[in-house]
Amino acid sequence: MNAQQIVLNARPEGMPSKSDFSMIDAELPAIKAGEFLVKNLWMSVDPYMRGRMIDRESYIAPFALGEVLEGGAIGEIIESNHADFPVGAKVNSMNGWRSHYITDGRDHTLLPQTPLCESHFLGVLGMPGMTAWTGLNRIAELKQGETLFVSAASGAVGSVVCQLGLLMGAKVIASVGSDEKAEALSAMGVEQVINYKTTANLSAALSAAAPQGVDVYFENVGGEHLAAALDNMNDHGRIAVCGMISQYNDTAPTQGPSNLAYIIMKKLKIEGFIVSEHWQHYGEFSQQMGQWLASGQVKAEQTIYEGLEQAPAAFIGLFEGKNRGKMVVKLA
Ligand code: NDP
């Protein structure tokens, strides 16, 4: 049978463009003993994939030019010669960016039975949700009554950070790139939301939103957001450095904030983290998150693009603020 696959044509310079990607047809052979055939239903696009498009050493290997891309996906088994992976079961894998594939099941997990849409295993119940939970609980150690500032607060990670922050009894201040995103977060109970695109002075806006200062900053953006947070951090504040999306398309080395000395003066603790290093805690996270979702205490939002051919547009859309909640592509 034929599978459609998306390959990387060229390493993007600056903002990625659709011409950096191609969709190709690939003939799949018959499945052998111990293998099964998966039809992908959903795939994830994530900001970290931009880093994998650069040929450099990092915590994860770069994508190879001309090769099919990789990323989180949920698929259904449509043919099987594998006792543990029966036809009809749904699986979670890193084999996104393709319509079908054959595997021996290595690095695949069966999805549990759930009333939720299975795409949430790419979002609130998957890597982004786990990132939010890890950053707040294990890195920043947010406490009740503290003030939490969250950037990219409407996205896959940020929207969960805001909701968990509220559940943990924090006062939550958020930054987003549109009034529509700001309204949605306010409706959720976020105390103050700054639209960084229409704010002339982010540091002053944060100071007005959090006159009591910021105890924890959940960093998703970098640059001006980090500088504004440093200006407003309280003594002994913590910064969980999760991402710096404002810099992922930079073509020249970025200047750091000029107020780094606040790290000393305010005795700040700043810690970067990669969620995969905390995966041994996924069971604890998923149990709690499952309960919060079932009780309605956490709401899972997603933005859906339809069709594998839309995957590059969905990916590029992450850098244009096109998503609220998790950006996913529906394949079938
Ligand atoms: P999102 O769903 O938040 O999508 C990206 C959002 O970032 C956009 O919707 C946009 O929202 C905002 N954004 C894009 N460009 C800029 C910019 N130049 N300045 C400010 N905001 C911008 O993505 P994720 O939730 O998946 O990821 C959020 C961050 O967390 C990223 O930095 C990512 O790399 C990081 N991450 C880190 C992990 C780890 O293990 N450390 C794991 C997962 C994610 P808006 O309209 O508000 O601008």
Domain count across the chain? 2
Ligand 1 touching residue 134 (CB < 6 A): no
Residues 54, 108, single domain; the answer is yes
Q: What's the whole-number mean pLDDT along residues 5-32?
A: 97
Question: Which residues in 11-140 belong to E strands, given as ranges?
Answer: 21-27, 36-44, 73-80, 90-93, 100-103, 109-110
Predicted pLDDT of residue 254: 85
- Looking up residue 37, the CATH number of its domain turns out to be 3.90.180.10
**For ligand 1, what atom is nearest to the CA of residue 244?**
32
Per-residue tokens: 296: 């309605």
Are 163 and 92 part of one and the same domain? no
Q: What is the CATH number of the domain that holds 216?
A: 3.40.50.720
Distance separating alpha carbons of residues 262 and 160, to the nearest angstrom: 28
pLDDT in tens, 283-300: 999 999 999 999 999 999
Q: Is the confidence at residue 164, as pLDDT, over 90?
A: yes
Q: Do residue 142 and residue 269 come from a single domain?
A: yes
Are 153 and 92 part of one and the same domain?
Answer: no
Q: Mean pLDDT throughout 316-324?
A: 98
Q: State whether the beta carbon of 215 lies less than 6 angstroms from ligand 1.
A: no
Q: Are 105 and 214 in the same domain?
A: no
- pLDDT tens-place string over residues 249-279: 999 988 889 999 999 999 999 999 999 999 9
Whether 68 and 167 map to the same domain: the answer is: no
Within 8 A by CB and 6+ apart from 36, the residues are 77, 79, 80, 81, 82, 85, 87, 102, 103, 105
Residue 283 lies in a domain: no
In the DSSP assignment, the letter for residue 135 is: I
**Residue 192 pLDDT:** 97
290 in a structural domain: no
What share of the chain in percent tops pLDDT 70?
A: 100
Mean pLDDT of 10-37: 97
- 247 shares its domain with 306: no
pLDDT tens digit sequence for 208-221: 999 999 999 999 99
**Which residue, of 230, 259, 276, is where some domain finishes?**
276
Find the domain containing 263 and state its range.
127-276
Rounded distance from Cα 51 to ligand 1 centre (Å): 13
Q: Choose the residue to mutate in 220, 270, 315 for probing ligand 1, maximizing ligand atoms within 8 Å of C-beta.
A: 220
DSSP label at residue 305: E
Check if the beta carbon of residue 217 is closer than 8 Å to that of residue 149. yes
pLDDT at 311 over 90: yes
| 234 and 256 in a common domain | yes
Are 103 and 135 found together in one domain? no
Asked if the structure places residue 52 within a domain, the reply is yes
Residues 33, 148: one domain? no
Cβ of residue 175 lying under 6 Å from some atom of ligand 1: no
The pLDDT, as a whole number, for residue 113 is 85
Which pLDDT score is estimated for 255? 83
Is the model's pLDDT at 155 over the cut of 90?
A: yes
- DSSP summary character for residue 65: T
What distance separates the 2 farthest-apart alpha carbons in the chain?
Answer: 65
Confidence at residue 103, expressed as pLDDT on a 0 to 100 scale = 98
Average pLDDT of the residues of the chain: 97
Q: Look at residue 236 and tell me if it is in a domain.
A: yes
Residue nearest to atom 3 of ligand 1 (CA): 155
Q: Which atom of ligand 1 is nearest to the CA of 47?
A: 34
Cβ(325)–Cβ(303) below 8 Å: yes
**Residue 176: inside a domain:** yes
Instruction: Select from 319, 323, 303, 331 the least CA-distant residue to 23.
Output: 331
Flag whether 316 is in a domain.
yes
**pLDDT, position 65:** 96
Q: How far is CA 9 from the centre of its chain?
A: 24
Asked if residue 169 and residue 272 are part of one domain, the reply reads yes
Residues 131, 264: one domain?
yes
320 lies in a domain?
yes
Whether residue 113 is contained in a domain is answered as yes
Nearest of 243, 251, 197, 192 to residue 222 by alpha carbon: 243
